[in-house]
Amino acid sequence: MLDNYPDTFAMVQIHVGDPYTYPWGWTRWYYYSPVYVPSTVHDCLLLRIGNQGYSGYLNLYNQRRAVPTDVTIELSGEQVSGRTYQVSAEVCIEPDGEAKTMRIYMVQVLDYWPAYGGYHRNGFKQAATTQDVTLSPGECQVVQREFTFDDDSWAAQDDITIIAWAQKPGSYPSNSDAYQAAIMNWPFTEPECAGDLDGDGKTNQVDLGILLADWHCDDPVNGCAG
């Protein structure tokens, strides 16, 4: 399904009870209490225990894709230093939406990890601390977290993905479903730079010069500098 729906199927594969287990994985396991492996949870709501087969997973995916949402998430990332990157998630409620409180999750996964077996996809690597945001219609809030990538990830940068989602901050299953999710593959989308008129990703004296040169320009096609 990742190959067929790479832009809309935000999957995180969590290991429990093996050498690739992380504490965060156990936290999510106990949140849903799925009893045994394999188990899946679609949109933080639809728990299925045991292998459902491709058609079963596709039906669950389509069922949740059909649910409308008024929440949007845009991801961007920029290098802080070395292997450390700051990831920004801009979470918004559309102008005609409803006010709500959401818990924002951001995790890093590594595709095809662990390498054994040849069937692992989007293996969980690390999670940022969550943040609850309360927004009214038309409002946005940016949540920022830093991720430092381990040796496995740095050796396979093209397989790094950041996944973020906005979830109801309640208990499963009565108040746990996801409002929206977002996917950012490597290389990361850099955040927009306000005032960057020459497109170099920075705001500096060159941009100021373009602004001053164009101050009274009303013919951008033929006569303006920027």
Could you tell me which of 164, 148, 153 has the C-alpha nearest to residue 107? 164
Residue 15 lies in a domain: no
pLDDT of amino acid 190: 94
Q: Among positive and negative, which fits the CA dihedral 23, 28, 33, 38?
A: negative
In this structure, the answer to whether residues 197 and 170 fall within a common structural domain is: no
The pTM of the full predicted model, rounded to 2 decimals, is 0.86
Give pLDDT tens digits along the chain (226 positions). 999 999 999 999 999 999 999 999 999 999 999 999 999 999 999 999 999 999 999 999 999 999 999 999 999 999 999 999 999 999 999 999 999 999 999 999 999 999 998 889 999 999 999 999 999 999 999 999 999 999 999 999 999 999 999 999 999 999 999 999 999 999 999 998 656 666 555 566 776 776 677 666 766 555 665 5
* Total number of domains in the chain: 2
Residue 137 lies in a domain: yes
Task: Check which CATH number belongs to the domain holding 96 and give it.
Answer: 2.60.40.10
pLDDT of amino acid 203: 63
CB 188 within 8 A of CB 146: no
Q: In what order do the strands lie in the sheet with 84-93?
A: 71-81, 84-93, 140-148
Taking the C-alpha atoms of residue 77 and residue 7, their distance in angstroms, rounded to an integer, is 17
In this structure, the answer to whether residues 70 and 145 fall within a common structural domain is: yes
Residue 164 lies in a domain: yes
Structural domain span for residue 64: 23-185
In this structure, the answer to whether residues 161 and 214 fall within a common structural domain is: no
pLDDT of amino acid 117: 85
